[in-house]
Amino acid sequence: MRRRATSSLPGLTRQSVLLRKKMDARAKPAHDGSTTSAIVLRRREFITLLAGAAVAWPRAARGQQPKTALIGVLSGRSPDESAQLMAAFHGGLGETGHFEGRNLTIESRWAEGREDRLLELAAELVNRGVAVIAAVGGANSALVAKRATSTIPIVFSSGADPVKLGLVASLNRPGGNVTGVAQFGLIAKRLELMNELVPTGVSIAFLSNPHYPNADDRSREAQKAGRALGREVVILNASNEREIDVAFANLAQRKRSALLVDNVALFNNRRQQIVALAARYAVPACYELRDSVVAGGLLSYGANLADGYRQIGVYTGRILNGEKPADLPVMQPTTFALVINLKTANALGLTIPPTLLARADEVIE
């Protein structure tokens, strides 16, 4: 059976067929001895036509290649510690048909815990003419990105209320050029867990970064939750590596103490330091991110951060596909996980109550 040809050079095929028909019609046997020279001449014409079409085709093919979008990532974190989170971000982009190296280019800027650099890094992305900025690794990234541009769409991740921060008008109708994913309101819940875990005679401290947006509100939230449980909550402030050391030294002087670590970029970046200090001073500490418990922290309660990054990737892709950030509601996690490190509990001499252990979604032994 003869298979129908499907050429990627439709114009070339039609011209070739027409020329061949002309040659066949004109190259009939003659008796004057000129047939051979006529055929040779027309073959030369045919080859010339092929060469011209072949040169024209790559230009047309290049014009049909998909357009490559340029987006920016602005993060207060470091690239090494964010590798898994960025893999989730890429997964979300892929769900909307966008793949780096195929139809997407990503410019990333990392503050690596130095949030004073964020404004400069945001300005670089704006000057590069990115189509969307994914502002992650802390609410400061989003606030700085919003200061840098009022026109480029911004998709953020935030551990604080984005309405109180002034990022959006409301969660359902963000307005403007900003939307994203927000996880907040978990301070009281984490304090309840610590209340179950440590004896009533143990004081609880709240480690806060005073330079973080909304830091005073978060400290007040912790103290209010403490009063509701009949516990005094002491605020410890730290805005850099040295001050974290000082805060733990002050906490150790209180003898019987436990610690609630706020979910901010600085403390997430310095989680190895904080976990090590908690072990050195034998302080039971509760975190929001699972990563800290994997690193040796006692327990955590919070949403799946990687899934939040995936959702940011989805929103970024949807905006590239034509949707407006003002019409995309701020997403909030609906599922949360309690993670307990039994090895750390044993090292601290703590017995995890059976009721708390039964509620754990993951136990690290």
Domains and CATH numbers, the chain: 10-24+38-55 (no CATH), 69-183+305-327 (3.40.50.2300), 187-302+335-364 (3.40.50.2300)
Whether residue 37 is predicted with pLDDT greater than 80 in this model: the reply is no
Taking phi first (over 0 means left), then psi (-120 to 50 degrees means alpha), and beta for anything else, what does residue 340 get?
Answer: beta
17 pLDDT more than 50: no
Residue 289 DSSP code: S
Nearest CA-CA partner of 198 in 257, 242, 141: 257
pLDDT-based confidence at 5, cuts 50/70/90?
Answer: very low
Q: How are strands ordered across the β-sheet holding 337-341?
A: 233-237, 203-208, 257-261, 285-287, 299-302, 337-341, 362-364
pLDDT above 70: percentage of residues in the chain: 82
The arithmetic mean of pLDDT across residues 225-254, rounded, is: 94
- With 70 as the cut, is the pLDDT of residue 33 above it? no
- Tell me, what's the pLDDT at 8? 42
Q: What pLDDT score does 48 carry?
A: 53
Task: Quote the DSSP letter at residue 295.
Answer: T
Q: Is the pLDDT of residue 1 over 60?
A: no
- The predicted-structure confidence for 95-122, as pLDDT tens digits, reads as follows 999 999 999 999 999 998 888 899 999 9
Give the tens place of pLDDT for each residue, 186-211.
999 999 999 999 887 788 999 999 99
Q: What is the pLDDT of residue 41?
A: 44
- pLDDT score recorded for residue 255: 76
Q: Which of 25-39, 65-79, 163-177, 189-203 has the highest mean pLDDT?
A: 163-177
Average pLDDT (132-146) is 95
Mean pLDDT of 153-177: 94
Q: Each residue of 258-307: pLDDT tens digit?
A: 999 999 888 988 999 999 999 999 999 999 999 999 999 999 999 999 99
24 vs 262, which has greater pLDDT?
262
* Interatomic CA distance for residues 271 and 287, integer angstroms: 10
Token pair recorded at residue 221: 């939230």
Say yes or no to pLDDT of 36 above 70: no
pLDDT in the model for residue 289: 92
Give tens-digit pLDDT for 246-255: 999 999 988 7
Cα Rg, the chain, nearest whole Å: 31
**What pLDDT was estimated at residue 183?**
87
Residue 12, pLDDT > 70, answer no
**Over 70: is that where the pLDDT of 43 sits?**
no
Mean pLDDT of 45-50: 50
Asked whether 208 and 237 are in contact (CB, 8 A), the reply is yes
DSSP per-residue codes, 187-237: HHHHHHHHHHHS-TTSEEEEEE-TTSTTHHHHHHHHHHHHHHTT--EEEEE
